[in-house]
Amino acid sequence: MHIENNLYKRIPQVDKLMQHELISNCEVYRHEIVETVRDVLADLREGLRIGKIDKIPCDDDIAKKVVDLAGKRTREQKGIRRVINGTGVILHSNLGRASLSKAAAKEAVEIASSYCTLEYDIEKGKRGNRAGGIEKYLQNLTGCESSLIVNNNAAAVLLILSSMASDGNVIVSRGELVEIGGGFRVPDIISQCGCKLREVGTTNKTRIADYEAAIDKDTRAILKVHTSNFKVVGFTESVSIKELTTLGKLHNIPVIEDIGSGALVDVQKYGLHDEPLAKESLKNGADIVSFSGDKLLGGLQCGIILGQKKYVEAMKKHPLYRAFRVDKMTIAVMEATLRVYADLSLAERDIPVLSMLSMTDEALRLRVEKLCEEIQKNGGDVEVIKTKSVAGGGAVPGLELDSYAIALKGALSVEKLEKKLREQPVPIIGRIESDRLVLDVRTIFEDDFDYVAKAVADVSG
């Protein structure tokens, strides 16, 4: 009993342990770590009571355990965390869609952590134009008369229709009445704007005559929606934006096109077909074009509106714009992202979405061989396989891109391997393919290879 009492006395007090250098200098806030200190010390007392331990670790070892446990608890409590995407889905909606370029991320940090010229003109010393820089870049890239940025593309469509067609009919092909993520449907958005939906054609076939027959005195706009998240194949027919704008001009009715994924460069060279270009839509006569900023463009979540100045200016004055406008970080990121588009070779190097789409077979093979070698050096049991990547994010449904992946082996079941990688400090998300857990190297940043190699070796060795 005397020895046991001495052991109890060797357990440090909470206040003393809180002053330990490891704990006082760790990145976990004091109010968050003190509870962990109490829990670790309580575990020591319980271990002594039930005879599970027969000695008390030194203060350094106890402090290290506290810091490790507190860090783990903090990570697990976060609602949003960094992960490593080994799924091969470039625009993974559940994993945050597009990753930003390093330049854009740096710009966001700088602007977020200081004051900035959000609505201040340095030259004139007075209030300036919010997002004026973005407008200049978009004019140069697309030839638009004017532009506007809002918090997502659904908001863009809502603002466009509320401003341009709230008291009348909007004509849309039945084959384009899509539902986007979260259950939001084009008919619901149209209704919310105070417009009446005028459906034309059928699911698989709509002709220009269908649009023309639907025009009446209450028609306020013709809306064309790019069906980014599904594809109708077989016996189909649709009307081009050029045909629609010709019809619109004949009847003095504005034509709006929602192109969805927001390609600013020709992505056919990457194997992505049927993705409309913003520049081409305007060139073909669209009065207003809208698209997302966090898909093929490679920026943050936002909605971008391009088109005739008279319509955009009316949107800027609409009450909904105040609710939909973006913050300083979004503006900073989108400026930094659009700036690099002046040189496509730089964009393919610096913007992750374009970099991943443009990777050659040789580049992918070298990447997978490098990662495989690092894993095996760490004692992991893996093999290289060929696989397929996808664009994701509702872009180019059904399209697959040839790629390479690491397939994990080892004694554990594929479900346990997947769970263990998910439980890493920085979770590694893969996919199960043919009863194997695979990590597609197309979507794994090379800067993360060392971390991935050690983690995979730990669970597969």
Q: Tens digit of pLDDT for each residue in 299-327?
A: 999 999 999 999 999 999 999 999 999 99
For range 111-128, the mean pLDDT: 93
Residue 232 pLDDT: 63
pTM of the entire predicted model: 0.87
What pLDDT is attached to residue 1? Answer: 46
**What value does the mean pLDDT take over residues 46-70?**
89
Q: Is the alpha carbon torsion for 294, 139, 155, 271 positive or negative?
A: negative
Instruction: For 441-460, write each residue's pLDDT tens digit.
Output: 999 999 999 999 999 999 98
> What pLDDT does 4 receive?
58
pLDDT of residue 235: 65
The pLDDT of residue 183: 64
Instruction: Give pLDDT tens digits for 368-388.
Output: 999 999 999 999 999 999 999
Mean pLDDT of the chain: 91
Is the pLDDT confidence value at 203 over 90? no
Summarize pLDDT for 153-168 with one digit per residue, the tens: 999 999 999 999 998 9
Q: List the single range of 18-27, 206-215, 253-262 with lowest mean pLDDT.
A: 18-27
